[in-house]
Amino acid sequence: MASPNLSAIARHHGISRNTLQGWRDQGLDLTDEKAVAERVTTMRRPNAPDTASLSPAGSESYAEAKRRRAVADATVAELKAGQQAGKLIDLAEVEQAFAEIGFVLRARLLALPSNLVAELEGLTGAQIHLALKKHVYQLLHDLHENSPIEKLTAGNPITQDTSASDTGRG
């Protein structure tokens, strides 16, 4: 294929000549408009692998790098906006909060037998059941009232964001 045609195809699809040359070297028939259009569409999907757009040497064109950078910048901006709006919490903080919940829950559960031995002495099975139930509910209530998750979310309820895109989290 002559160079002017290659340039015309590249201009028409908004991609580089190097990309087209790489595709041609990989066996793509550049005279097949449908095949070229499909490859361009695949290349431009933000989450699609960019292997089809790489030149034989493995380097991407400036336009492709610029597009990937724009997608990455948009993703970072979306994440920052979500964090500032209180929709996102740092993973390390969440892990720390759950570790704290686990520690408190374990300690309180292990302390139940020692704390209840005197109270349960001489009670019937049904009375023991009610006493244990009361203490477990109190433990769960206390855990909820002093939850590190509440501190992380600053009192805002945690809800699932159904408007999130494929590039982010819901």
Q: Does residue 165 belong to any structural domain of this protein?
A: no
Q: Which of 44, 63, 83 is the last residue of a domain?
A: 83
Q: Which of 67, 83, 99 is the last residue of a domain?
A: 83
Q: How many domains are there within the chain? A: 2
Classified as helix, coil or strand, 55 is coil
| pLDDT, tens only, 45-82 | 655 544 544 455 556 788 888 888 999 999 888 888 87
Q: Does residue 11 belong to any structural domain of this protein?
A: yes
Q: Which residues, at least 6 apart from 43, have a Cβ–Cβ distance to it below 8 Å?
A: 15, 19, 50, 52, 53, 64
Task: Give me the chain's average pLDDT, please.
Answer: 79
Angle between helices 125-145 and 91-120 (to 10 degrees): 150
Model confidence, pTM: 0.43
pLDDT value at position 126?
94
Query: Which structural domain range is residue 49 located in?
Result: 3-83
Torsion, Cα of 64, 66, 69, 70 (10° steps)? -110
